[in-house]
Amino acid sequence: MSLFWRIFGLNALVLGTAAGVLMLAPVTVSASVLLAEAVVLVAGMGVMLVANAALLRVGLAPLERLTGLMTTVDLLRPGQRLTVPGTGDVADLISTFNAMLDRLEAERAASTGRALSAQEAERRRIAQELHDEVGQSMTTVLLELKRAAERAPDSLREDLRRAQETTRESLEEVRRLARRLRPGVLEDLGLVSALTALGTDLAGHTGMRVERRLDAELPALDPDVELVLYRVAQAALTNVVRHAAADRVELSLVRTGAAVELRVADDGRGVGATREGAGIRGMRERALLVGAALDVTRAPGGGTQVVLTVPAGGRPRAEAPDGGRDPSAVRR
């Protein structure tokens, strides 16, 4: 039944019922309407309007649910669908909307996959240039400063040594940036070692206490899934440093039934009512690529916790985000 005939039928039902009640009820209307007759007519009209409103509310409820979903749907939170109520125009509309969401989510995942693939390739290129070009140039400068300090008079030797120390610190920072851009530990030693190094690096540079709980008995994960877990942990820890004002952060990776759960929790100021920033949206995009669920909530003891739950098998993309790492890479 079309929407027009559905509304027409509801109104006809109400009006027909009211007419039947008036015909069967012992109610008469004088040429000059008496007060009692006016009360009966007004009461009957009120009952008719209330019944009509209730029936229309029931009949149009699917459209209200559809409108509500349209205003709140988020492609980074897949699976938001409406139940199709039988057949008819409204059912066709809801089915079409559900199918549109399927297409949009698939297209969003594909486009995000291509963008992240390009991003990872650019990260590798920049990391390689930092290591090969900038790193080697700074190493050469460091050696020249050392030789100059050995030959310089005493009045200049201390200044040259300070310049040498500054150059050494800058070289170490360049190497650290290259490691963040291209996680070589992840490729060579596996996810647990990479997360361990990530926590150690954070503690060393910020002084924050990092508590690690990393399960060594994890199921075999696709390299793409490992990269998503690593990048989400990296982004979550970066958010802690930038926004949380925390003293302690917990980094855990454990197996929970048929899934692997990554959790980053801090004791900072906690999540507010503001909209999600680019960091969290980026984490959601990565989670979407492997069929994972990402939750950002307030930690039980205060602060913020980020929980990424990935099915044990994962759902790898057709194109690897890291340019196709060797799946046989050594894992710890």
Q: Which fold has domain 189-332?
A: Heat Shock Protein 90 (3.30.565)
Mean pLDDT, rounded, for 182-198: 81
Report pLDDT digits (tens) over 79-114.
778 777 767 677 778 888 888 888 887 777 777 777
Threshold 0.75, pTM exceeds: no
Place of tokens 């994962």: 314
Burial class for 67, CB neighbours closer than 10 Å (0-12, 13-18, 19+): exposed
DSSP state of 242: I
Token look-up 């503690």 returns: 203
Strands 248-256 and 209-214: parallel
264 in helix, strand or coil?
A: strand
Q: Are 119 and 231 in contact (CB under 8 A)?
A: no
pLDDT digits (tens, 9 = 90+) for 157-181: 888 888 888 888 888 888 777 777 7
Relative orientation angle of helices 3-24 and 89-129, to the nearest 10 degrees: 140
| Among the ranges given (28-32, 95-99, 227-231, 314-318), the one the predictor scored with the smallest mean pLDDT | 314-318
User: In terms of Cα–Cα distance, which of 262, 268, 317, 265 is closest to 291?
Assistant: 317
Sheet holding 248-256, edge to edge: 209-214, 248-256, 259-266, 304-311, 293-298
The domain ranges of the chain are 3-108, 189-332
Residue 284's contacts (CB-CB under 8 Å, 6 or more residues apart) are 76, 77, 276, 294
Residue 293 parent element (H or E) = strand 293-298
Q: What is the mean pLDDT of residues 122-134?
A: 77
Residue 197, pLDDT score: 86
DSSP 190: -
